[in-house]
Amino acid sequence: MSEQPLVIIDELKIDVRLTRAKRLPIVDTATFDVKRGEIIGLIGESGSGKTMLCRSLVGTLHRRGAYIASGKLVFDGIDLVAAKGAQWSEIRGKQIGYVPQSALAGPNPVMLIGAQIEEAILQDKNFPKSKVKERAIELLNIVQIRRPEVVMHQYQHELSGGMKQRVMIACAIAQQPQLIVADEPTTGLDVTVQAEIMRLLLSIRAEFNTSIILVSHDLPLVNQICDDIVVMHAGTTVEKIPSKDITHAKHPYTRALYDSRIDLVEPKGKLTTINGQPPTVGSWPAGCRFSEWCNFVRDECRVPQTMPIIPLGPDHYTTCIRYTELDK
């Protein structure tokens, strides 16, 4: 298969404008592809730049004073770095759906749920008005909301967290987009609800062959449904790895993340943690950004600019120069 990937992100660098003269790198750099129908898990701690990376895909970086400084960002053959207003309005909501962070948001509080879904449907200017209601109920059925006729006439504060997120997913898939960007869609939800939402995303992929970028800091959760995992640390994508290989990660940070999970089925006794605080934006170490927390660190890791992308397979790369020694 030599099919073009749906999304190509290549050495993408995002800066945030602090003052007129001062800029701060916030993503530096990100590299990965998303194939059609693929679910990518984008994993990282808070402040690792995952949200900003998502915003660059939906064109709302400027709202946070950020912009793409360099690199390549291509969606379905369209260069998103150079995309202007008119192009964005063709892409947003139609070809890229967005599911916001569950903890912060949800549907618009001053609009009925039905009105919002209908709004999402009517982004397609040619959609027949007479069928909007029918389609809205159909969408609510797809996201497995019971009694959709009732929910249509409710406001967001009358819904539970999981329901809100289902509604957001319904809005996101209204135009059957090729890509859904879900920014921590299950943070703060009940574990059972988390699993349901994940299952829902899987079924949507199965039905519409939608690519999904699933942002999370919960590696074990995401690992269950993703094809590939992209791990971000301090603004860099440090490793891309097929999720079935996660136990053989070739970057110490990925290992540390995976080892620090709490396994309820087979308790390990002692809980592994990453010592110290994650680096804050603007004070990243020179050289490998994980060097200060890494057990395998050597002097050569601290040489500035040492985070080469080392391909290990078709969907696997690491940026650790000592990856061969991790298993010794």
Partner 1 sequence: MQKGNQLTRKIIGRFLRAISVAFWVMVLSFVMIRVAPGDPASARLGPGAEKAAIEVLRKQLHLGGNPITQFFSYVNELIHGNLGVSLQDGVKVVDIINRTLPITIYLILLSTLCALIVSIPIGTYIGWSGKGSLVYGFRGLTAIFLATPNFFIAMVGILFFSVRHNWAPVFGYDNSFPQNLHYLWLPVAVNTIILSSVISRVLFSSVSETKDEEFVETGIIRGVGRRRFFWFYILKPSLAPTVVLLSYMMGTMLGATVILETVFSLPGIGRELVGAVLTSDYPVVQGILLYFGVITVLLSFIGDLIAYLLDRRVKI
Question: Which residues contribute to the site for partner 1 (CB under 8 A)?
Answer: 58-60, 63, 89, 92-94, 96, 98, 100-101, 104-111, 119-120, 123, 153, 155, 157, 168, 171
Between residues 63 and 270, which has the closer beta carbon with respect to partner 1? 63
- Give the tokens for residue 123: 């982004």
- The nearer residue to partner 1, 64 or 133, going by C-beta atoms, is 64
CA atoms within 13 A on the CB side of 264: 3
CB of 283 to partner 1, least distance (A): 25
Nearer to partner 1 (CB atom), residue 77 or residue 109: 109
- Residue placing its CB nearer to partner 1 in the complex, 189 or 288: 189
Between CA 211 and CA 94 the distance in angstroms is 14
Nearest distance, CB of residue 100 and partner 1, angstroms: 5
- Tell me the closest approach of the beta carbon of residue 94 to partner 1, in angstroms: 7
Q: Among residues 200 and 320, whose Cβ is nearest to partner 1?
A: 200
Smallest separation (angstroms) from partner 1 to the CB of 96: 8
> Shortest approach of partner 1 to residue 121 CB, angstroms?
11
R_g of the chain computed on alpha carbons:
20
Nearer to partner 1, 153 or 298 (CB): 153
| Closer residue to partner 1 (CB): 14 or 120 | 120
The alpha carbon dihedral of 34, 93, 135, 139 has a sign of: positive
| Nearer Cβ to partner 1 (105/225) | 105
